[in-house]
Structure 1
Amino acid sequence: MPELVFFSGTMDCGKSTLALQIVHNRTARGLQSVIFTRDDRAGQGKLSSRLGLVTDAVEVTDDADLYGYLVEKISRGGRVDYVVVDEAQFLAPGQIDQLARAVDELDKDVYAFGITTDFRTRLFPGSQRLIELADRVEALQVEALCWCGERATHNARTAGGVMVVEGAQVVIGDVDRDADDVGYEVLCRRHHRRRMTSATARASTLSPDVLPVNHG
C-alpha cells in the first residue's frame, strides 16, 4: 500500500542526503519521481545536501496545488512513480493534505523530509500536519551533535554567534554560515535552554556547566 512517510529530525541530521539517496536508488531501478522542495540552501528549484550533492526539483510556492500538479503531469502522459518532498516544514498545512490525497487517490508513495520544530521549539505548521496525517513518522538515525558532544535535539537561530529567540518563524540560513550572519546551530536541550551556543561558550571565561566555588 502506498504511504505518506515523514522523515524528521533536527538540522544537520542528513535529511536531504537521505532524500537524494532515495531518489538515486529508485532511479537506478527505472522509477521516476517528482521532487518538491521549498527554500533550499542551493536556491530555488534545487534539492541539495551539505555533502555537495544536488538535483533539480519543483519549487513550491505559497499557492501551489501539489495534488493538481501531479494530476496534470500524469494526464499529460508524464510518469510519476513516487514523490519526494524536502523542506516539508515550510509547506502550508493544506499542501500536506494535498500530499495525503496523492497517496490515497493516485496510489503514490510520498516521502517527506523536514525538521520538526523551529528555533523557538515550536512545531512548524507543515510538520505538525505531517505528524497528524502521516502513515509513518521516522526519526532520522544520523544524530546531530551539540557543541558539547551530546545529542542535539533543538534548532537554534544565531546572529553573530549569539542565540536569538524572537523573529519570523522562517528566515533562510544554514548551520555553516559565518558567525556574523544569521545562521543556525543545533543544540542539546540543556544548552538551548541556557542559550549557550558554541560561540558564546568559547567566549566565556568559565565552563558553561561549572559554577565558581566559594572558599570564604
Structure 2
Amino acid sequence: MAELVFFSGTMDCGKSTLALQLDHNHAARGRRGLIFTRDDRAGNDRLSSRLGLEVVAREVTDTTDFWAEVTGERGRGSVEYLVCDEAQFYSCDQVEQLARLVDEIEIDVFAFGITTDFRTRLFPGSTRLIELADRVEVLQVQSLCWCGARATHNARTVDGQMVVEGAQVVVGDTDAGEVSYEVLCRRHHMRRMTSRSARVLAGSPGSLYLDLADQDG
C-alpha cells in the first residue's frame, strides 16, 4: 500500500541528499515520479544538496494544489510517487492534499523537512505531517553543534548575531551572509551561543570558567 512518509531532521543532516537518492532509486526501477520543493537554496524550481547535487523540481507556492498537479499529469502517464522537499514550508491544506493522494490514488509521498524553526517552534506544515504521516523517520546522519554535541536546534543569525524574533520563514543557508543559519545543541541554543560568539568569549576574561561549565554540564 502507498504511504505518506515524513523524513525529518535539523539542517545539515542530509535531507535533500536523501531526497535525490530516493528519487534516483525509484526512477531506476522504472517508476515515474514528480519532484517538488519550496525556497531551495539554489533558487526556484531546483532541488539541491550541499554535496553539489542538483535537479529540476516543481516550485511549490501558496496556491499549489498537489491534487491538480498530479491529476493534470494523467495524459503523460501515471504518477507513482512524489518527492516533496522543504515540506515544512507547505500549508496544512497542502499536506492534507498529499495524504489524499496516498489514500485515494495510491501514490507514495516522500516528504522531507525540518520540524522546528529558529525559535524552536513547530512549522505548521511539519506539524500536520507528523499528525497525518504513516511513518515519521528521523534521519540518522547527525548534525553537530560547534561544541561537538549532537545538534538538535536551528539558529538564525543576522549579521552574525543570533536572533529569536522575526518572520518564521526567511530564506538563507548555513553559509555566511546577512541572514544565515547554524545548527546548535539545545544548551547552546538556549544560551544563544553560536560558533562566532563562542570564539569571541574564548578570548575574553572568564572564558576558562565558561569552558569548565560546559564540560561539567
User: Which bracket does the TM-score occupy, shorter chain normalised?
Assistant: over 0.9
In 2, distance between residues paired with 1:100 and 1:92?
13
Q: Which residue of 2 aligns with 1:73?
A: 73
Q: Which residue of 2 aligns with 1:84?
A: 83
Aligned to 2:182: 185
How many Å separate the matches in 1 of 2:150 and 2:166?
26
CA distance in 2 between partners of 1:78 and 1:167 (Å): 44
* TM-score normalised per structure 2: 0.93
Provide, for residues 112-133 of structure 1, a one-character-per-residue CA deviation record: whole Å limited to 9, x for no partner. Answer: 0000000000000000000000
Q: Which residue of 2 aligns with 1:202?
A: 199
Structure 2 unaligned blocks of 5 or more: none
- The AA in structure 1 aligned to 2:82 is V
Q: 1:18, 1:177 → 2: CA distance?
A: 24
CA distance in 2 between counterparts of 1:144 and 1:176 reads 15
| AA aligned opposite 1:199 | R
CA deviation after TM superposition for structure 1 residue 28, in Å: 1.4
Please report how far the alpha carbon of residue 78 of structure 1 lies from its aligned counterpart in structure 2 after TM superposition: 2.8
Query: Which residue pairs with 1:43 in the alignment?
Result: 43
Q: How many residues align?
A: 208
Aligned to 1:14: 14
Instruction: State the alpha-carbon separation in 2 of the partners of residues 209 and 104 from structure 1.
Output: 53
Structure 1: runs of 5+ lacking an equivalent: 212-216
Partners in 1 of 2:192 and 2:212 — Cα distance?
16
CA deviation after TM superposition for structure 1 residue 210, in Å:
3.6
1:141 matches 2:140: yes
Larger % of helix: which?
2
Aligned 1:138-177 pairs, distance under 5 A: 138-177=137-176
Listed one character per residue, the Cα deviations across residues 23-75 of structure 1 (whole Å, up to 9, x for unaligned) are 1111211111111110000010000000000001110110111111101112x
TM-superposed CA distance for 1:209, in Å, is 3.7
Instruction: Note the alpha carbon deviations across 1:152-197, whole angstroms, 9 max, x for none.
Output: 000000012221001000000011234xx11000000000000000
Looking at structure 1, the residues matched to 139 and 160 of structure 2 have their Cα atoms a distance apart, in angstroms, of 27
* Equivalent in the alignment of 1:25: 25
Root-mean-square deviation over aligned CA pairs = 1.1
Q: How far 1:80 moved relative to its partner? A: 1.1
CA distance, structure 2, for counterparts of residue 104 and residue 177 of structure 1? 43
